[in-house]
Amino acid sequence: MSSIYHGQLTVSIFGQSHAPAIGVTVDGIPAGETVDLEELQAFLARRAPGTGAWSTTRKEGDKPEVLSGLVQGKTCGAPLAAVIRNTNTRSGDYENLKDIPRPGHADYTAQVKYGGFQDVAGGGHFSGRLTAPLCIAGGICKQLLARRGIFVGAHIAAIAGIPDATFDPVGLEQSALQAPGEKIFPVIDDEAGERMQAAIAEAKAQLDSVGGVIECAVVGLPAGLGDPMLDGMENRIARLTFAIPAVKGVEFGAGFAVANLRGSQNNDPFYMDGDRVRTRTNHSGGILGGITNGMPLVFRAAVKPTPSIGQVQDSVSLSRKENTKLEIKGRHDPCIVPRAVPCVEAAAAIAVYDALLEQEKRREQP
Residues within window 301-340 making contact with a second copy, judged by CB under 8 A: 302-309, 311, 313-316, 318, 321-323
Closest approach of a second copy to the CB of residue 249, in Å? 3
170: left (phi over 0), alpha (psi -120 to 50) or beta: alpha
Check binding of 73 to a second copy (CB under 8 A). no
For a second copy, the closer of residues 125 and 339 by Cβ is 125
For position 58 contacting a second copy by CB under 8 A, the verdict is no
Residues 6+ apart with CB under 8 A from 328: 102, 308, 309, 310, 313
113 interacts with a second copy by CB under 8 A: yes
Contact predicate 344/300, CB 8 Å: no
Nearer to a second copy, 184 or 274 (CB): 274
Stretch 80-109: interaction string toward a second copy, x if CB under 8 A:
xx-x-----------------x-xxxx-xx
Contact set for a second copy, span 268-287 (CB under 8 A): 268-272, 275, 277, 279-280, 283-285, 287
CA–CA gap between residue 366 and residue 363 (Å, rounded) = 8
Q: Are 276 and 270 in contact (CB under 8 A)?
A: no
Whole-Å CA distances, 188 to 53, 268, 353: 19, 25, 26
State the minimum distance, in angstroms, from the CB of residue 296 to a second copy.
15
Q: Tell me whether residue 184 or residue 259 sits nearer to a second copy (CB atom).
A: 259
**Choices 114-122, 135-143, 170-178, 182-190 (CB under 8 A): range interacting with a second copy:** 114-122
The C-alpha atoms of residue 244 and residue 336 are separated, in whole angstroms, by: 11
**Scanning residues 163 to 202, which ones bind a second copy (CB under 8 A)?**
none
* Number of neighbouring beta carbons within 10 Å of residue 283: 18
Assess 75 for contact with a second copy (CB under 8 A): yes
Of residues 222-251, those binding a second copy (CB under 8 A): 222-232, 234-235, 238-240, 242-243, 245, 247-251
Element at 252 (helix H, strand E): strand 247-252
- Closer Cβ to a second copy, 128 or 182, answer by number: 128
Task: State the number of binding residues for a second copy (CB under 8 A).
Answer: 162
Element holding 136 (H helix, E strand): helix 131-146
> Interface with a second copy by CB under 8 A: which range of 29-37, 43-51, 184-192, 338-346?
29-37
Q: How far is the CB of 197 from a second copy (least distance, A)?
A: 16
Q: Which of 261, 327, 330, 331 binds a second copy (CB under 8 A)?
A: 261
Nearer to a second copy by C-beta: 179 or 328? 328
What residues from 145 to 164 belong to the interface with a second copy (CB under 8 A)?
Answer: 148, 158-161
Within 10 angstroms of residue 229's Cβ, the number of other Cβ atoms is 8
DSSP 48-91: SS-SSTTS---------EEEESEETTEE-SSPEEEEEE-SS-S-
Cα Rg of the chain (Å, integer): 21
Start-end of H helices in 52-125: 107-114
- Residue 36 engages a second copy in binding (rule: CB under 8 A): no
Minimum CB separation of residue 160 from a second copy in Å reads 7
Q: Which of residues 341-360 bind a second copy (CB under 8 A)?
A: 357-360
In the complex, what is the shortest distance from the CB of residue 12 to a second copy, in angstroms, rounded to a whole number? Answer: 5
Residue type at 292 in one-letter notation: T
Q: Residue type for 200, please?
A: I
Q: Which of 68, 92, 171, 173 binds a second copy (CB under 8 A)?
A: 68
Helix (H) / strand (E) containing 360: helix 337-363
Segment lying near a second copy (by CB under 8 A), choices 44-52, 53-61, 181-189, 266-274: 266-274
The DSSP code sequence of 267-321 is S--EEEETTEEEESS-TTTTEETTEE-SSPEEEEEEEPPPS--SS-EEEEETTTT
65 forms part of the interface with a second copy (CB under 8 A): yes
